[in-house]
Structure 1
Amino acid sequence: MAHYLVQPLVMLSVGAAVCSLAYVLAAIVCVRRFGRRGVGRPGACPPVSVLKPLCGLEPGGYENLRSFCCQDYPAYQVLFGVRDADDPVIPLVERLIAELPERDLQLVVAPRTIGPNLKVSNLANVYPLAKHDLLVIADSDMHVGPGYLAAVVAAFEAPRVGAVTCLYHARPAGGLWSRLASLSINEWFLPSALVGAALSPVRHCFGATMAVRREVLEQIGGFPRLAHYLADDFYLGHFAAAHGHEVRLSRYLVENVVREPSFGALFSHELRWSRTVRSVKPTGFALSFLIYPITLALLADLAGALLPGPLPAGLSLALPALTLLALALRLGLHYVVRSALGIPGVGRPWLIPVRDLLGFAVWAAGLFGQGVVWKGRAFSVDGHGQLVEPKENTQAVVSKP
C-alpha cells in the first residue's frame, strides 16, 4: 500500500481508538451513577393493565410469565395475547390462570392482523379488553421482580410523562453462544444506552418495557400507527415525544432470558438488531463502532504494521499501549457492570476480546443490506423503518374485519 495512504490510515485508526477509550471511561461513570440511584415507589398506585404479546415458547417461559402475575401492587390485570389457537404457549397461560384465580388474568386468542408486525397485531387484539388507563407492555422473554410495576408507575407521577421505558440485562439460558449474547447486552448495549441517555433526553422506548398512558397511545394513533414498523418499541416512544410528552427511563432493570442455540442464530439475531438500529438512528448506528475499543486498537496496530520501515519511536510505544489500555478499560467496565448494577457475571474475562471482535463484525455487516428474519419470517426494512414483506407473503398481512 502506498506510503501516503498508510499514514492517514494510521492516524485515523489511532484517533478512533482514543475516542473509543474515552467512551469506555464515560460508560463506567454512567453505569456507576445509574447503579447508585434507587428505583422509587409511587405515592399513588393507579390500576394498571399489563399487555403480554406471546408467540411460541421462550426459555424459562412459565417463570417469566408468572413474574408479571405476582406483583406487589394493589390493582392490575394481565392480558395474554396469542394469535394461533395451536400455540404451545397457551397451556402455560392456562396453567397460570388456574393457579392464580385471585389475579385478574385473561387469555385472548385472536388471529386478526393489522400489519406485518404481528406482535403489534397481538397488542391491538387484546387492547379492547384493557380496563385501566395505564398500559404496560413487555416482551415475552422478560422476567421481573415483585416491585416492577410499582417502580414503573412511580415514573408517571409527573403529569408531563407520557411514556416510561426500562433497560434490561441478560441472563443466559444455555452455553457459549447464549453467554456471548448476554455479554453483549450487559456490557456493550446497556452501558451504551446509559451513555446515550446521559447525553440527550430519551425519546424512544425499549421492548423490555413500554409503559404508556391510554390517552397518549390514542393521541399517537394507537397500535395501528405502529403495525408497519419493525422497531415498534422505538416508535411508540418516538411518537409520544413528538406529541410533546416526556419519555422517562425507569431505574428498574428488567431481566432478559437469552438462549442462542448456535453461532448462526446468534449472528442472525444480532444482525437484525443492527439493521433495526440503523433504520431508526442511522447516525448513532454509524458511530456505534466506537463501543469496540479492543478491535479499534488492534486495527490501529495493523495499520501501523503496514507502514514501510520502522515505526516512529512515539508510535511504536503508543500502539501497544492503546491495546493494553483498551483491554484494561473493557475489563474494568466488566466488573463495574457486575458491582454497580448487581448483575451476575455471564462470561469469563477471556471472552471480552472475542465479544468485542464479534460485535464489531456484526456492526460492519449491519452497514449493508435491508433483510431481516423475525420469528421465522423474512422482511426487508425500508428507509423509514417500516417492514416490507416479500410479495408472496403480502396476503398474510391484509387486515381482517
Structure 2
Amino acid sequence: MPVASLLLFSAAALGLLALAVQFLFVLRHRPRSHQALPRAATASPGISILKPLCGVDDDLEANLEQFATLDYPRYEVILGVKDRTDPAYALARAAVARWPHVMKLALQEGEPGLNPKVNQLITLSAEARYDLWVISDSNVRVSPGYLQEIADGFEDLDTGCVTHPIAGVGERTVGSLMDNLHLASSAAAGVITAKHLAGKDIVVGKSMALRREDVEALGGFFSVKDVLAEDFVIGLWITRKLGKRVVVARTPVFNVSLRKRVGDFFKRYLRWSVIHHMSVSTPTYLAQGLLNPAPLALLAALLAPSPETLSMAGAVACLKALLDVAVFRLLRPEPVSWGALPVVFLKDALLFVAWFNGLFSRTVQWRGTRLHVLPGTRLATAAVPSSPALVPAEVTAREELLAG
C-alpha cells in the first residue's frame, strides 16, 4: 500500500477513535431522560430573554409560543426586529399582543456594526428589565426546566456564562435532516467533549446566558459588533478577561429545522468553514478534519484501489454514520430512524468540500452582504482579496482578539 494511502487510512482510524470518545462523553453528560432536571430549592432571579428575529424561521409561531409559556416565575422575552419591513415583524407584533405580560418588541436602533445579530443585541440589551440575560435564537425550542437550570448555574458567583448543547428536531426534508444530524453529532458533541476532555469552553450563541455586569465589563455587545463568531469570542473573554467559568448545561436546546434544502445546508457550512478557520489556528483546523474520516478513507482507497481498500473505506463510512446517528438519538426527544444512516454519507461529502473551502476562502455571503472575515472572525466589507496567505501578523491579530 502506498505511504499516502496508509497515512490517510491511519488518519481515518484516528478520527473514528476521536468520534467514539465523543460519543462516550455525550453519553456521560446528558441527563438520564429528556425530562426536566430536578429543581434545587434555590432563588429564581428575573431573566430577560433576548431573541433577535430575521425573517420567518420554520415554525416560528410555535417557537415563540413555547417561550411565552415557560415554567419559570419571573422572566420576559424581548423580540428584536431590524425594521418593519422584516417578515418577522408581523409575527412579533402578534406574539406581543397575545402574551403582553411576557413579550415585548424592540426595533433595532441604528446599525453600529457589520454583525446583524449583534446590532440587534445592542438594542435588546438596552431594553432588558432584568440583570440575567439569555440570548436565544429564533429557531430554538427548549426543555422543561430550561430557565431554572440556567438560574441554578449562576448560583455560583464564579459562573460567567451558561451555554447549551444543540440537537435538531422536526426534519421533513433531507437538507433539514443533515442540518439536525450535524448539529448534534458535531457541534453538540464537540462542545461537550472539549469541556470534559480538554477543559476548553466553546460557547454556542443559540443559547447563551450572561450577567449584565459581565457584558458591561467586556464593553457591552458593542465590543463585538464587527465580529462574526461573537458567541465564541464572548465565551473566551469571560474566562480570559474576567476569570470566570463557562457552564455547559446538561439539557440540550433544540434547533427547529423542517424544510431546509440540501443547497441551503451546503451554503451554511461553506460560510461556517470560513468562520471556524478564522477563529482557530490553521493546525487546529487541519486536525479537526480528522473528525470527518469517511472522505479520508475514500481518498486512501482511490490511491490504492483494491477490494480490500474499498472494503476498508466502506467500513469507515459505515462506522462514522453509526456514531453520528447514535449521538443524534442520545440528544433529542424525537425518535430517529436508523434509515438516517445513508444521509450521513451525503452530509459528510458536502462537509468535506466545505472544510476544504475553509482552508483558502476568506469571504462569506451573509444576509445579502458579502463580507471579508479576518483573523478572530473580525469583519470587513469584501473589498479585500478573498484568499490571502495567513501571515504572522494575521496570527498575532487573531490571538489579540481572542485574548481580549
Amino acid at match of 1:52: K
Q: How does 1:99-248 map to 2 (within 5 A)?
A: 99-101=98-100, 103-243=101-241, 244-248=243-247
CA distance in 2, matches of 1:385, 1:140: 23
Other structure's SS at 2:7 match:
helix
8 Å contact from structure 2 (residues 278, 375) kept in 1: yes
**Is the counterpart of residue 360 in structure 1 residue 359 in structure 2?**
no
8 Å contact from structure 1 (residues 31, 337) kept in 2: no
CA distance in 2, matches of 1:115, 1:173: 34
When structure 1 is superposed on structure 2, of 196-205 and 215-224 the one drifting more is 196-205
CA distance in 1, matches of 2:382, 2:315: 48
**Is the counterpart of residue 58 in structure 1 residue 57 in structure 2?**
yes
Could you tell me how far 1:36 is from its partner in structure 2? 4.2
Could you tell me how far 1:318 is from its partner in structure 2? 7.1
Other structure's SS at 1:152 match:
helix
When structure 1 is superposed on structure 2, of 39-48 and 377-386 the one drifting more is 39-48
Match of 2:5 in 1: 10
- CA deviation digits over 1:218-245, x for unaligned, max 9? 1111111110100111111111111211
Match of 1:398 in 2: none
Root-mean-square deviation (CA, aligned residues, Å) is: 2.4
**Is the counterpart of residue 351 in structure 1 residue 343 in structure 2?**
yes
Could you tell me how far 1:265 is from its partner in structure 2? 2.3
Other structure's SS at 1:247 match:
strand
Match of 1:328 in 2: 319
Could you tell me how far 1:391 is from its partner in structure 2? 5.8
Match of 1:47 in 2: 46
8 Å contact from structure 2 (residues 14, 290) kept in 1: yes
Q: How does 1:370-381 map to 2 (within 5 A)?
A: 370-381=362-373
Could you tell me how far 1:327 is from its partner in structure 2? 1.3
Other structure's SS at 1:367 match:
helix
Could you tell me how far 1:115 is from its partner in structure 2? 0.7
8 Å contact from structure 1 (residues 40, 151) kept in 2: no
When structure 1 is superposed on structure 2, of 201-210 and 13-22 the one drifting more is 201-210
Other structure's SS at 1:349 match:
helix
Other structure's SS at 2:165 match:
strand
**If the length of structure 1 is used for normalisation, what is the TM-score?**
0.87
- CA deviation digits over 1:272-308, x for unaligned, max 9? 1111111112343221211122222222212223xxx
When structure 1 is superposed on structure 2, of 251-260 and 50-59 the one drifting more is 251-260
Structure 1: 5+ residue stretches without partners = 1-5, 306-310, 393-401
Could you tell me how far 1:336 is from its partner in structure 2? 4.6
Cα distance change, pair 37–198 in 1 and its aligned pair in 2 (3 A): farther
CA distance in 2, matches of 1:173, 1:14: 33
Could you tell me how far 1:341 is from its partner in structure 2? 4.7
Cα distance change, pair 146–97 in 1 and its aligned pair in 2 (3 A): farther
Amino acid at match of 1:187: S
- CA deviation digits over 1:37-70, x for unaligned, max 9? 5745352211111111112211111111222221
Cα distance change, pair 352–128 in 1 and its aligned pair in 2 (3 A): closer
Cα distance change, pair 14–325 in 1 and its aligned pair in 2 (3 A): closer
CA distance in 1, matches of 2:357, 2:4: 21
Match of 2:288 in 1: 288
Q: How does 1:249-398 map to 2 (within 5 A)?
A: 249-259=248-258, 261-282=260-281, 283-305=283-305, 320-321=311-312, 323-328=314-319, 330-339=321-330, 341-345=332-336, 348-390=340-382
- CA deviation digits over 1:326-355, x for unaligned, max 9? 513531441353146545327622222222
CA distance in 1, matches of 2:38, 2:225: 33
CA distance in 2, matches of 1:259, 1:373: 23
Could you tell me how far 1:163 is from its partner in structure 2? 0.8
- CA deviation digits over 1:163-193, x for unaligned, max 9? 1111211124542222222222222332233
8 Å contact from structure 1 (residues 181, 260) kept in 2: no
Match of 1:3 in 2: none
CA distance in 1, matches of 2:287, 2:359: 11
8 Å contact from structure 2 (residues 191, 202) kept in 1: no
Other structure's SS at 2:376 match:
coil
Cα distance change, pair 327–179 in 1 and its aligned pair in 2 (3 A): same
8 Å contact from structure 1 (residues 163, 213) kept in 2: yes
8 Å contact from structure 1 (residues 84, 111) kept in 2: no
Could you tell me how far 1:205 is from its partner in structure 2? 1.5
Could you tell me how far 1:384 is from its partner in structure 2? 2.7
Q: How many residues align?
A: 377
Amino acid at match of 1:344: P
Structure showing greater relative contact order (alpha-carbon pairs closer than 8 Å, 6 or more residues apart): 1
CA distance in 1, matches of 2:209, 2:237: 13
CA distance in 2, matches of 1:150, 1:8: 55
When structure 1 is superposed on structure 2, of 326-335 and 232-241 the one drifting more is 326-335
Structure 2: 5+ residue stretches without partners = 385-404
Match of 1:29 among 19, 24, 33: 24
CA distance in 2, matches of 1:343, 1:192: 21
